[in-house]
Amino acid sequence: MTNNIQKWQLNDGNYIPSLGFGTYQLKGNEGATAIEAAINSGYRLLDSAYNYENEGVVGEGIRRSSVPREELVVTSKLPGRYHRYEDAVKTIQESLYRTNLNYYDIYLIHWPNPSQDLYVEAWQALIDAKKWGLIRSIGVCNFLPEHLKRLKEETGVVPAINQIELHPFFNQEEQRKVNDSYNIITQAWSPLYRAKDISDNQILKGIADKYDKSVPQVILRWHYQLGNIAIPKSANPNRQLENKAIFDFKLNEADMMTINGLTQENGRMNDQDPAVYEEY
Ligand SMILES: NC(=O)c1ccc[n+]([C@@H]2O[C@H](COP(=O)([O-])OP(=O)(O)OC[C@H]3O[C@@H](n4cnc5c(N)ncnc54)[C@H](OP(=O)(O)O)[C@@H]3O)[C@@H](O)[C@H]2O)c1
């Protein structure tokens, strides 16, 4: 299967595919089979996390696939309970053992956990792990403007990526502008709103029918045109292919505006505001 996904450049000079594959809840043999299928169908960017307890399955999917490791962009994330510098360094090493890789392309801080106030220390560990060659690019997830500002002020190093909840019902216009101002690429988690009710949305359905595409394809194309890297998860090989088939059409400006207009102030799926919501 050809890989037609264009690459974008990160602020550290490395390149990253403009569409990736989410792996939350892909575990065990079924998970490895789904990841292998995704790679063989052309996905090159894989998302994972220490807390998904599936880094081993990601490694297994990579080994089963026909694609050389160096063509893949493999991601994992540091959990909140390991933000202390020494813990973070050990966790990155443990993540590598679990995947059975000797470097990660991308490693992200999973949540800022501001009440814990250790994310700058965690960031210093990622900076050092990059210097030691354990990681190629470093970034964050769920960071608000004030968290990004502190990283820059206290370490001088700006993340390459900020992965945030982003879908048509919560389009994060302000956070995207802040990310852009630092030259940080925005990645979109739950880019399809976990497929909840999206296909019944008459506005999205109307646009999809016009382009002879599915609602997930229209949403993923909208992400691409906004400059977001979406990382949709699907265990199903047909839906994996469907989610990739977004590079042969273009939404017009009016349709982009219509989708932008679906956003809601309280549009987060599960009210996970990183100013107060924390994960360990
Ligand atoms: N950094 C963070 O804090 C954070 C938080 C959440 C998620 N993430 C990452 O982001 C990734 C994506 O987010 P997500 O998994 O929460 O949600 P998502 O990708 O928006 O949606 C996944 C759901 O949509 C279904 N689906 C996928 N493609 C479909 C299609 N074409 N038609 C119909 N249904 C479809 C999947 O079912 P099937 O599998 O049955 O197809 C699954 O139930 C995660 O897997 C994870 O890697 C990061």
Tens-place pLDDT, residues 147-202? 999 999 999 999 999 999 999 999 999 999 999 999 999 999 999 999 998 989 99
Residue 28 φ/ψ, nearest 5 degrees: 65, -165
Can you give the pTM of this predicted structure? 0.98
Beta carbon of 172 within 6 Å of any ligand 1 atom? no
Task: Check: CB of residue 63 under 8 Å from CB of residue 39.
Answer: no
Regarding the beta carbon of 27 and ligand 1, being less than 6 Å apart is answered no
**Across all residues in the chain, what is the average pLDDT?**
97
The reply to whether ligand 1 has any atom less than 6 angstroms from the CB of 112 is no
Q: Tell me, what's the pLDDT at 199?
A: 86
pLDDT mean over 111-118:
98
For residues 263 and 173, the answer to whether their CB atoms sit within 8 Å is yes
Give residue-wise pLDDT tens across range 56-72: 999 999 999 999 999 99
- The ligand 1 atom nearest the CA atom of 214: 31
Task: Confirm or reject: Cβ of 142 under 6 Å from ligand 1.
Answer: yes
**Closest residue by Cα to residue 151 from 9, 24, 11:** 11
Ligand 1, residues 43, 73, 189: which to mutate, most atoms within 8 A of Cβ? 189
Confirm whether 277 is a catalytic residue: no
Average pLDDT over residues 23-32: 98
Rg of the chain, C-alpha, whole Å: 18
> Virtual CA dihedral for 113, 275, 121, 128, nearest 10 degrees?
100
pLDDT in tens, 239-254: 999 999 999 999 999 9
Ligand 1: nearest atom to the Cα of 189: 10
Predicted confidence (pLDDT) at residue 4 exceeds the cutoff of 90: no
d(CA 151, CA 143): 10
Contact 255 CB / ligand 1 (< 6 Å): no
Quick one: pLDDT band at residue 1, thresholds 50, 70, 90? low
Mean pLDDT of 78-88: 98
Separation of alpha carbons 185 and 167, rounded Å = 16
Q: Which helix (H) or strand (E) holds 40?
A: helix 28-40
17-26: per-residue pLDDT in tens?
999 999 999 9
Q: Which of 15, 43, 50, 52 is catalytic?
A: 52
- The answer to whether 241 and 217 have CB atoms below 8 angstroms apart is no
- pLDDT value of position 2: 56
